Amino acid sequence: MPIEFPSLPYALNALEPFVSSKTLKHHHGKHHRGYVQKLNSAISGTSYEGMSLEDIIFAAHANSETGIFNNAAQAWNHTFFWSSLSPDGGGEPRGPLADAIEDRFGSAEKFGAEFKAAALAQFGSGWTWLVCSDTGIEILSTSNADTPLLRGSTPLLTLDVWEHAYYLDFQNRRDAYIDAILSNIINWDFAAENFQAGC
């Protein structure tokens, strides 16, 4: 069984005007699809064929198979990213996750400011995450395809800060992209489910 290229959990225009259908069409239909296609052709006929996507990520990393690792991790990161956004998103965290954010960051507003600063500070391509680990919840930035799974952290939500995520809509204004996502479409329900399941 090849690794599946998943459908978006919403319509192409569902995140407008914050993420345009044009961006989603390219980002999901070209970039994400491309990672999955390259991965499937790279693992065909190898010992990776038939493994879960997570197992491929760990095995390729352990074996220093950079090409397979990059495409596998990007496939996983993107699927997680689509769920981190929602047309019904935005607002503030709720429930036990809201309490954890208040304990760690002081308030949801202060969390937003720290998350934005981390996403802006990521040099070049990468991802900004809210994760939990043995020491509690924290903001984490990863470069290129790198993923918190390798650190034993549980991802709660993520933001893609590769230029392909925002250039069509915001050009070089990464700060405006971050603001639009955090204020309007970040999926706190998804983060809360991940928090309750894994932290």
The stretch near Mn ion (CB under 5 A) out of 97-105, 114-122, 123-131, 157-165 is 157-165
The Cα 9–Cα 166 span in angstroms is 19
Exactly one of 56, 160, 181, 185 binds Mn ion (CB under 5 A); that residue is 160
Which residue type does 177 have? Y
Q: Write out the binding residues for Mn ion, residues 165-194 only, by CB under 5 A.
A: 165
Nearest residue to Mn ion, by Cβ distance, number only = 160
- Least distance to Mn ion from the beta carbon of 27, Å? 6
Indicate the DSSP class of residue 4.
Answer: P
* Range list of H helices, the chain: 21-26, 33-43, 53-62, 66-83, 95-105, 108-121, 167-170, 174-184, 188-198
C-beta of residue 77 within 8 angstroms of C-beta of residue 147: yes
d(CA 101, CA 132): 11
**Minimum gap (Å) between residue 127 Cβ and Mn ion:** 8
Q: How far is the CB of 74 from Mn ion (least distance, A)?
A: 7
- For the CB of residue 162, give the shortest distance to Mn ion in the complex, in Å: 5
Q: Assess 162 for contact with Mn ion (CB under 5 A).
A: yes
Specify the stretch interacting with Mn ion by CB under 5 A; choose among 10-18, 42-50, 117-125, 161-169: 161-169
Task: Decide whether 20 or 133 has the Cβ nearer to Mn ion.
Answer: 20
Phi-psi region of 82 (alpha: psi -120 to 50; beta: other; left: phi over 0): alpha
Residues that bind Mn ion (CB under 5 A): 160, 162, 165
